[in-house]
Structure 1
Amino acid sequence: MVSESRERKVQRAFISLLKIGLWNSVIDTFDIFILSSSEWLVLYQVAIAQTVEGLVFDAITKLPGQYQPPKMLALKWAVRIDAIERENLKKEKIIAEIAGLLKAHHIDVTLLKGSSLAVHYAKPLLRLSGDVDFYFENSDAFKKANQLIKQKGIKIKYGALNSTYYSWKGCEIEHHSKLIDIVNPFQKRYLKKMERQEADRKTPVILDGMKINSPSVLMTHIQVNAHILKHFLGFGIGLRQFCDVARLYFNTSQSLDCDQLKFAYKKLGIYNWMELTHSFLVHQLGLNPEFLPYQIQQCEDNQWLMNDVLNAGNFGFYSGQFSSAPQTHQERKHTMTWGLFPRFLKAQRYAHSEALWFPFSRIWSTLLRRRKI
C-alpha cells in the first residue's frame, strides 16, 4: 500500500490541480507539485479513476516546466487527452445522427447528462464522456425508438429501471423511460407533474449542427443530483459527476427559481443530501457559494464524502485506487459489496426514504430485466 503521508501528498496535489482545471484559477503556490516520478504516476492513475484526467491535465499545462510530471508520463497523458477529444467529437456526431433519425420518425427525444452537461465547461471536449443517454417522455415513444433501432439490425438489451441499451458505431447508447432517478415509488406522480410543468422550458443544445433538447434547468438540477445519489447508494460515485454539478451551478443557478428547487428537494426527501452536496462543492471543489442555487443552512461535515469518493472512483469501478496490489474480479466484487453497508447507513441520515427504497428498487429492476430477457 502507498504510505499514508505519501497518499495525502498525492491527494493534495491532485485536488489542487482539479480545482485549477475546473475553475481556470490562478496557481498561487507550487510547492505541493514537487512530486517524485512514482507519485506523479499515482496522481495520473487517480485522475483516470475519477475520469477527470482532462481537467487535471489542463491545469498541469499551466505549471512551470520544473513542476510538471516526467516527460514520458506527460506525453502519455497528452496522447490520452487527444483521444478523449476525438472520442467526444465522434459522440457528438453519433448523438446528432441518432437524434436526427428519431426526429425523422416523429419520435421526441431528450438528451440527458453527457454532452448536455459538457457545454457548461470552459473546455467541453476535455470532459470524459460515458454512455449516451436518451430519454423518452412516454412509453409509446420509448417503444417506437427501440423498435426503430431494432429495424436497423442492432441488438437491444434490457438494463436497469426499465431502460435499454445498444452499441452504435462502437458507442454505447441508453434509452430511458424514467427522467429522475428517485426510487421512492410514492414520488412518481409528483415527478411526472413537475415534468409536465417544465415541458415548455427545455434547454436546446447544438451538437454537430443538430439542435437537441435537454431537460429544463430546474429538471437538470434535480436529475443530475438524484443520479449522483443513486450511484452513491450503489457502488459509489466519482468526482467527475460532482464537477458536472459545480459547472452546472456556475452557469445556471442565477436563472433558477430557487424556492421551487428547494421545495422539490424537500418534497422528494433529499434536502439533507443536497445540503451535504452543496457543502461538498464549496469546501472540497472550490465552488463560490454565490453560485449555489440557495445558501447552505447547515454546514455539513463533508470530508468523509471526499474520502468515500476518492476510494470508490467512478461508479465504484476503481475502488482501492491507491493500492499497488491488483485485485481479482471476485476480490473487487467482495470489496465493493461490503463497501455498500457503511455508505447505506450514512445515506439513512441524508436521504432516508431513498436509502429505504433503494434495495427494493434494485430487486424489482432485476426481476423485470430477467422477464424481458
Structure 2
Amino acid sequence: MMYLTTYHYSLLSLLREYLQSEKSELTVARKEIKFGREGWQNLYNLSSKHGVASMVFEMLNISERASQLELEFIPENNSKVNSDNINNDTLLVKYGLIDIETNIPPADLLTKWKIDTQNSEDIYKKDVDIIKELLAFFRINDIDALIINGVGFGQMFVHPSHRHYGDVDIFLGSEYTRGNKLLGKLGMNIEVVNQNYSTFKFRGVTVRNHKCFYFHQFRHRIFTKQDKRVDKQLMKFLESGYDTVSVDDIEVKTPNPEFMLLYLTRHLVLHFLEYGIYLRHLCDINLLIERNRDSIDFAKMEKIFKKCHILKLFTSFISICKTHLGLNLDLNLKEDKDLTQRILNDMFFNKYRLIDKGKFKKMRALGRYFFRISYLFSSKWKYDHIQRGLFLRMLPYKLLF
C-alpha cells in the first residue's frame, strides 16, 4: 500500500477549491502552495494525467506579474542562496536557474501549463461547433438527437472549457439506422460497429452514435445482465423527460440529472475495470450532485445501483468525493473502507498505468499482449467487487481479444 504525497494532497486541495468556486460562482481564496521545480513538475504531471490541468491552473491565480521578466540577480558577495534573500520575481527563480520553493511554477512550466489550458479551450470551442453543425443537420432531417455527456454536461461548470472533453456521444434511438444513412450520404465514413453503435470522424473528432446505452465504446468485453438492466433503466429515465441547456446561443437537449448520475456511475465503473479512474470523472459526479441534489431521488437511485451491482463501488466513489473533493452529501450507505482506500491507491499508483506511453508503443505486439494480460489479472479484485464469478466469465474473451 502506497500513501498520498504532498503533491497528491495539493492537487486534491486545489480541485476541492475549484469545485467550491464552481458551486458558489464566487472567487475562492486558495491556500498558498510552495514547491521547488520538481514539486511543480510533479503537480503538473499529476493534473495532466487526470485531465484536470486547466482546473488546477485556474486555481493557481497566476498574476500577470508572474510572466514579466525582471533582471534581478544575486549580489556576487552573497554566497548563501535561500528563499529569504531571493525575490520570487527574479530571473533566476522564474526560469528555474536556481531551485528554491516558490508560490508559482518556473516560467517554462508555467508557459506549458498556459498552452495546455488554451488547447483545452480550443478543444471545447471545436466540440461546440461540431455539435451545432450536427444538431442542425439532424433537425433538418427531423431527427431528435440527444447529446450525452460532453459539452452539454459541461454547461454545469462556470467555465465549461476547463473540463476535459473526449469523443462526442449522440443518442439517436429509433432513428439510429436512418441517421447513419443520412450521414453516409453527406460523405461521412461511418464505421457501423454493430446494430446499436457506430462511429465516424468529423473535423478530426470522433463522433459516436448510439441506439441504446450498452456502452459499446468500451470494446472487447462481454455484455452482461447488468448492461441490460442499466440500459433499461436509462431508457426509463429518458421517458420522464429531457433537460435543455444553452450552448453558444443554441438550445441543446440533454438527459435529466437522474439519468446522468446512473450514466456517469456506470461509465466510471467500466472505466475502473478497463483503464482505471481519473479525477476528472469524480469531479463530474461531484458537480452533478451539487448542482442537482434537489432533482435526484437518492433513495430510488440507491435501489437502482444495488440492482445493477454497482452500489458498493458508487459508495466508495462518493466517499472519495466527500473526503477529498468537498462533496456535501449525507447518505446512509454502508461503505467498505478497505475498498475505498484500494480504489484511491489504484487511481494514483497502479504500476500498469504509470508506464510511459512512448515505451509502451515501442513494445512488440507480443510484449503489449502480455502487458495487457498482466494488467487484466492484477485487476481481478475489481471484477470480484462487482459480481462473484464475473472475472472468470470475462477471462476467455479477454485472452482472445
Query: How far off its partner does 1:226 sit?
Result: 0.2
> With structure 2 as the length reference, what TM-score do the two structures score?
0.77
1:237-266 CA-partner distances (Å, limit 9, x unpaired): 221111111111110122112222112112
Give the 3 Å change call, closer, same or farther, for CA 88–312 of structure 1 in structure 2: farther
- Work out the CA distance in 1 between the residues paired with 2:195 and 2:278: 21
Runs (4+) of structure 1 exceeding 6 A deviation are 62-65, 360-364
Q: 2:344 aligns with which of 299, 306, 331?
A: 306
- Work out the CA distance in 1 between the residues paired with 2:327 and 2:254: 24
Q: Does residue 263 of the first structure (1) align with residue 303 of the second (2)?
A: yes
1:201-234 CA-partner distances (Å, limit 9, x unpaired): 2111222332221222211110110011111111
- Matched-pair identity in %: 21
- Work out the CA distance in 2 between the residues paired with 1:109 and 1:156: 17
User: Does structure 2 retain, via aligned residues, the 8 Å contact 1:233–1:358?
Assistant: no
- After superposition, where does 1:1-373 map in structure 2 within 5 Å? 8-24=5-21, 26=28, 29-30=31-32, 33-61=33-61, 66-138=102-174, 141-159=175-193, 162-179=196-213, 181=215, 183-185=223-225, 188=228, 191-192=231-232, 195-196=235-236, 198-290=238-330, 294-298=331-335, 300-301=337-338, 302-311=340-349, 319-320=353-354, 326-330=359-363, 334-352=370-388
SS in structure 1 of the partner of residue 337 of structure 2: coil
- Work out the CA distance in 1 between the residues paired with 2:164 and 2:337: 29
Query: How far off its partner does 1:52 sit?
Result: 0.8
SS in structure 1 of the partner of residue 379 of structure 2: helix
Listed as ranges, the gaps of 5+ residues in structure 1 are 367-373
- Work out the CA distance in 2 between the residues paired with 1:186 and 1:38: 45
1:178-204 CA-partner distances (Å, limit 9, x unpaired): 225494236626743652454242111
Give the 3 Å change call, closer, same or farther, for CA 352–177 of structure 1 in structure 2: farther
Query: How far off its partner does 1:166 sit?
Result: 1.2
SS in structure 2 of the partner of residue 289 of structure 1: coil
SS in structure 1 of the partner of residue 35 of structure 2: coil
1:259-315 CA-partner distances (Å, limit 9, x unpaired): 22112112212111211111121123221224xxx44333533222122122469xx
User: Does structure 1 retain, via aligned residues, the 8 Å contact 2:199–2:206?
Assistant: yes
Tell me how many residue pairs correspond in the alignment: 349
Query: How far off its partner does 1:26 sit?
Result: 4.5
RMSD (Å) for aligned C-alpha atoms: 3.2
Listed as ranges, the gaps of 5+ residues in structure 2 are 22-26, 67-87, 89-101, 217-222
> With structure 1 as the length reference, what TM-score do the two structures score?
0.82
Give the 3 Å change call, closer, same or farther, for CA 162–58 of structure 1 in structure 2: same
Query: How far off its partner does 1:351 sit?
Result: 4.6
Query: How far off its partner does 1:175 sit?
Result: 0.9
Which structure dedicates a bigger proportion of its chain to helix? 1
- Work out the CA distance in 1 between the residues paired with 2:215 and 2:293: 21
User: Does structure 2 retain, via aligned residues, the 8 Å contact 1:281–1:287?
Assistant: yes
Which range moved further: 37-46 or 332-341? 332-341
- Work out the CA distance in 1 between the residues paired with 2:185 and 2:172: 18
Query: How far off its partner does 1:12 sit?
Result: 2.5
Which range moved further: 81-90 or 239-248? 81-90
SS in structure 2 of the partner of residue 166 of structure 1: strand
1:143-179 CA-partner distances (Å, limit 9, x unpaired): 1111111111121224489421111112211112222
User: Does structure 2 retain, via aligned residues, the 8 Å contact 1:17–1:56?
Assistant: yes
| Larger of the two Rg values belongs to structure | 2
